[in-house]
Chain A
């Protein structure tokens, strides 16, 4: 019984005091933990017990403190004594301080149906940062090295590193400090693993592009408020708050250089190429033509503006239609197409307005300019009597009809084009005359040479015929003389026949009659004669010499055998000459 006494006393007190409690309002406010390290987040909590619901209230902002992750939890109990509902409202915020010091959250007011309720003031002491958790939780920003220019899209990676096995929750979204930059998301969060300083981490990486919009040195920092359970052994399982921050130095953003900036530059930064195409090159006055420029590459494609057409005199140009094609969520890589509609206003146009596109290449740190390569066009007059012909008649064209309009005139040319002689008819041009004379001379030379060759061949042919005839004639006479037994006539004609055939066979340039027996033998040595024939030839020539120089008494050779030998010899020589 003695053990039950304190409980009985508490119940009795509670029963006595409950009607009074039911009508009273209790309101508390506190920050936990307090003091708070500068990089940790605490919880600002307001607990209200009231029978009437909270209808509003505005928490004051405190310079140096940031509040996030607001939460409201309420529950109610039925008081049977007072026959009323008693509610408990718990309002909480994650609170983080930017710097060390003491911060006061002043008293503020909550609105209820029964009237305003005053939330008591709270003081927060913020101490130096707690570095002991840096090896477990990190926020890392990776940026490429090298100079950074205004307007350049810089690829960036922001990673949350959480030591493997630790649990975290997000108390607030990722926040950036740095007003001089724009952010363009590139991908969803990528989860991975990484080993770093002897520990394994789970990583959550967010890829995006950062675009500086102002030159100068500007901070670029991110922070993220998380809740965690301390992964160190023996630290309990309480959930605590922590602010993760990047610690990159401020970025030095360079302005785009003035030097070398082309007049056609319109803030394109990156690396690009340009292709042009036209819908047709043969058109009539008033007929529209589509000129398409496709700028491809990587850079601030989204912010590319249409290049201006130059020298548009004589063309009616309509504002271009732009289309961006990119599979990249950040629209960093891809192509942008500009379609210009041009209408020729007269038939003297031969060239399309040139297009120049220039951009700043941050890697090479210089401006590049691309000039369009457009085909020539042929513009014919509009069909006679058509509406186009009336609309584009010279009198209807302001540029052509306005007298002394200097703006309509094409400007001075800075290049002289191809140097040449003044316009002069070709037949007065010495170069033309000389060239043709030279070619004519060449042709005449060829013709003359051909004619001479022909004449030579004709002469040669007639000589051959003559020699062959003479040889046959001498052979016949020799054979006749042999049959008649006339030795001198036989040998004289046989020698003549051999001389002519030898000249023909060996294509000699000497007169046949000037060849002596020894010369005949020497010349015929080059012809492949059978041995008996060669011997017979020697015998025949020797007998001829004897008959010629020895007179009637010099031997008595067998003329019929020599005649047969002569016939064989001549036949062989004719075969050789053929």
Chain B
């Protein structure tokens, strides 16, 4: 039993963190060199290649800058949103995203409106914390049958509270990181066919709520409340 617990403790961080892949770091550096030379196309290619190996807030941020330089605001906004999805406290991404959305006459991003207490942790960490709280409270309840330690019940109650809090936080943050329009023109179709008339055309960088994911179309809700269909190439999910 002890070995089992020890194994769990040892495996936990290795499963979660993972080592920084050398090729990703090298591609990131290479992208920075291209960017410093003003070759933004090559820089973007390097950053995108690095993303196939690993991700980081800094990498998404630099990719967003490259996309901005290449006049691709949709991809830039998507990259900024992904940087914030990994690290909601990444102030440079928050700042540039705010500027870019203002320049594109887009409303403020939901990600930039996150309250400060929800920026403490990455949205991906809330489920982990919730799971830890769940197992903690369950473990405390089980231990009560084995030992008479008086703090087990309060510990269990604390775990349940933590579980509820983390669950709420995760729900609140996760729904913000939805789908972003990445192409210059994306008609919001009434029906899932190319011949379908469109409600209107979405602008690059608009954040949509994904209702359904099909093989050939995405059913989304626009900020104005209209639902419609987009091609998978026209929008990308912030959370992959």
Nearest Cβ on chain A to B112's Cβ, whole angstroms: 6
A317 within 8 A of B: no
A445 at the B interface (CB under 8 A): yes
Determine if B203 is an interface residue (Cβ-Cβ < 8 Å): no
Category for how many chain B residues contact A: 35 or more
Q: What's the tally of chain A residues with a CB closer than 8 Å to chain B? A: 50
Residues of A with C-beta under 8 A to B19: 419
In-complex Cβ contact of A446 among B1, B56, B98, B239 (8 A) = B1
A412 and B35 in contact (CB under 8 A), knowing A419-B20, A419-B56, A445-B4? yes
Does B198 belong to the interface (CB within 8 Å)?
no
A439: contacting residue among B8, B21, B127, B142, CB under 8 A? B8
The contact of B57 among A409, A412, A417, by CB within 8 Å, is A417
User: In the complex, A434→B102 CA distance in Å?
Assistant: 42
- Contact at B91–A351, with CB atoms within 8 Å? yes
Interface 9-mer from A7-15, A248-256, A420-428: A420-428
Roughly how many angstroms separate A404 CA and B73 CA in the complex, as a whole number? 11
Contact B128 A423 (CB under 8 A): no
- Binary contact readout A423-437 vs B (1 if CB under 8 angstroms, 0 otherwise): 111110101101110
Which B residues are in CB contact (< 8 Å) with A438? 8, 11
The smallest C-beta distance from A393 to any residue of chain B, in angstroms, reads 12
Q: Interface 1/0s, chain B 107-141, versus A by CB < 8 A? A: 00000100010010001101110010001001100
Q: Does B174 contact A (CB under 8 A)?
A: yes
Given contacts A420-B54, A423-B85, is CB(A314)–CB(B18) below 8 Å?
A: no
- Which residue of chain A has the shortest Cβ distance to B177 in the bound complex? A423
Q: How far is the CA of A443 from the CA of B68 in the complex (A)?
A: 50
User: B163 interface residue, CB < 8 Å from A?
Assistant: no
Q: Do B51 and A422 touch across chains, with their CB atoms under 8 A apart?
A: yes
Taking a contact as CB atoms closer than 8 A, the residue among B82, B142, B170 that contacts A423 in the complex is: B82
Contact of A349 among B55, B91, B177 (CB under 8 A): B91
Interface flags, B36-65, vs A, CB<8A=1, else 0: 100000000000000100111111011001
Q: How many A-B residue pairs have CB under 8 A?
A: 144
CB atoms of B124 and A423 under 8 A apart: yes
Residues of the B chain whose Cβ atoms lie less than 8 Å from the Cβ of A410: 92, 95-96
Interface 9-mer from B24-32, B151-159, B185-193, B221-229: B24-32
**B-chain residues with CB within 8 Å of residue A447 when the two chains form the complex:** 142
User: At the interface, yes or no: A113 with Cβ under 8 Å from chain B?
Assistant: no
Residue of B nearest to A397 (CB): B102
Q: Is A527 an interface residue (CB 8 A)?
A: no
B102's contact among A400, A414, A439, by CB below 8 Å, is which? A400
Which residues in B have their C-beta under 8 angstroms from that of A426? Answer: 124, 126-128, 170
Q: Is the interface of B mostly helix, strand, loop or mixed?
A: helix
Residues of B within 8 A of A378 (CB): 116
- Nearest-CB distance from B115 to chain A (Å)? 9
From A405, A419, A423, A446, contact of B24 by CB (8 A): A419
CA A439 – CA B135 in complex, angstroms? 8
Tell me if B65 and A412 are in contact (CB < 8 A).
Answer: yes
Q: Which residues of B contact A429 (CB under 8 A)?
A: 124
Given A346-B98, A432-B131, A417-B54 contact (CB < 8 Å) = no
Contacts of A403 in B (CB 8 A): 102-103
* Complex interface: chain B residues within 8 A of A376 (CB): 89
Shortest beta-carbon distance from A350 to chain B in Å: 4
CA distance A424 to B174 in the complex (A): 10
- The answer to whether B8 and A419 have CB atoms under 8 Å apart is no
CA separation between A446 and B94, bound complex, in Å?
47
Bound together, the chains give a CA A431 to CA B239 distance in angstroms of 16
Q: Tell me whether B77 is interfacial, beta carbon within 8 Å.
A: no
Which residue of chain A lies nearest to B71 when distances are taken between CB atoms in the complex? A404
Q: Are A446 and B131 in contact (CB under 8 A)?
A: no
A432 touches B58 (CB 8 A): no
List the B residue with the shortest CB-CB distance to A349.
Answer: B91
Whether, in the assembled complex, B238 has its beta carbon less than 8 Å from a beta carbon of chain A, the answer is yes
Name the one of B1, B21, B58, B86 contacting A413, with C-beta atoms under 8 angstroms.
Answer: B58
Judge whether B240 is part of the interface by a CB distance below 8 angstroms: yes
Within 8 Å by CB of B95, from A348, A413, A439, A450, lies: A348
- Say whether, besides A400-B99, A421-B54, A434-B15, A413 and B174 are in contact (CB < 8 Å): no
| Closest residue on chain B to residue A447 by CB atoms | B142
Is A318 part of the contact surface with B, judged by Cβ < 8 Å? no
Q: List 6 A-B contacts (CB under 8 A).
A: A350-B91, A351-B91, A400-B99, A419-B21, A426-B127, A432-B127
Q: State the B residues within 8 Å of A (CB).
A: 1, 4-5, 8, 11-12, 15-21, 24-25, 28, 32, 35-36, 51, 54-59, 61-62, 65, 68, 82, 85-87, 89-92, 94-96, 98-99, 102-103, 112, 116, 119, 123-124, 126-128, 131, 135, 138-139, 142, 145, 170, 174, 177, 238-240
**20 additional contacts (CB under 8 A) given A348-B91, A416-B59, A419-B54:** A348-B94, A349-B95, A350-B91, A376-B89, A401-B102, A412-B32, A412-B35, A413-B61, A413-B92, A417-B57, A419-B21, A422-B55, A422-B240, A423-B177, A425-B239, A426-B124, A426-B128, A426-B170, A429-B124, A442-B4
- Would you list the 5 A-B pairs with minimal beta carbon distance, nearest first? A426-B127, A419-B20, A431-B15, A410-B92, A423-B85
